[in-house]
Chain A
């Protein structure tokens, strides 16, 4: 497995782990409050639907000419990557609150307790729908990352291995501890995913537009370094500006530090 393959597995693993932690919080809140059966059936149905999306779209994308594919994939990864990265930069610099799984869990639990009970198809419909939506919507972006990243790199199965690994690990830990995984360094992982999606989006988007990168695939590492340095630079500038505005000394926290 070359550098591209390692990044492929790492990116899909991290993206999947982050989204899985968020989906797990929703399923746990519903399961703990209203019972596990409907919540688990909803989560399983959503996982099956996501697998169908990947199975249907993945092979279809392999029919697209490689330059067109890389242009489309690059553009999509850049759109996703820049959104992830912007939020991560705002969190790291203190302009956006850190994602707090415990707070999300408490809110979901309160809403689940307050909701009425409607039986459909032998299921607690609220639990089923909430668990399905939680897993499906959180997983949809991962499915797109697996499809786009995998097809541009020429290995959807390898991308699926990274994503499935995260689902298995997070799912197993969640089943064992049965509490939100608040100690997972979610914000740092989001920063890393944003950097990787932006890096590969730039590389493939460039190739799709006819750019010939100096050094070939080795240019990925240079772009990666450039994106990391630029992002860290933005965090530092924002931290300094915020500290000035608040009349404090600039913070010296490493980028992505959990609070």
Chain B
């Protein structure tokens, strides 16, 4: 049981990493991109903007506690 948990922990850490919100955000962004593209709306602009927004959000979440510490 412990080994099974360690196995899933390894793959979770490997793929999702230390910010699960990015993985969830990417899944939502890709779903929205597909919805736009299949809805006949030009969707090329959406994913780059969503990716940079997710990056900025992830960076901000990392920095916020450090700023609170005065670093």
Contacts and interface: CB of A to CB of B under 8 A. Distances in A.
Interface of A: 71, 74-76, 78-79, 82-83, 85-86, 89-90, 95-96, 140-141, 198, 201-202, 205-206, 208-214, 219, 223, 226-227, 230-231, 234, 238, 241-242, 245
B38 to A, nearest CB: 6
Contact of B54 (A82, A95, A210, A212): A82
Interface in B1-59: 14-19, 22-23, 26-27, 30-31, 33-34, 37-38, 43-44, 46-48, 51-52, 54-56, 58-59
A208 B17 CA distance: 23
B55 A198 contact: yes
Contacts of B22: 79, 82-83
Contact of A75 (B18, B19, B27, B62): B27
B55 A209 contact: no
Contact of A86 (B31, B47, B55): B55
> By CB atoms of chain A within 10 A, which of B18, B43, B47, B58 has the most?
B47
B23 A79 contact: yes
B59 A211 contact: no
B26 A219 contact: no
A230 B14 contact: no
B47 A202 contact: yes
Nearest to B47: A206
Interface residues of B, number: 34
A83 B55 CA distance: 9
A201 B30 CA distance: 11
B34 A210 contact: yes
A223 B47 CA distance: 10
Given A75-B27, A86-B19, A213-B44, A205 B33 contact: yes
Contact of A210 (B27, B37, B67): B37
A90 B62 contact: yes
Contacts of A95: 62-63, 66, 71
Contacts of B14: 140-141
Most buried by B among A74, A79, A201, A214: A79
Contacts of B33: 205-206, 209-211
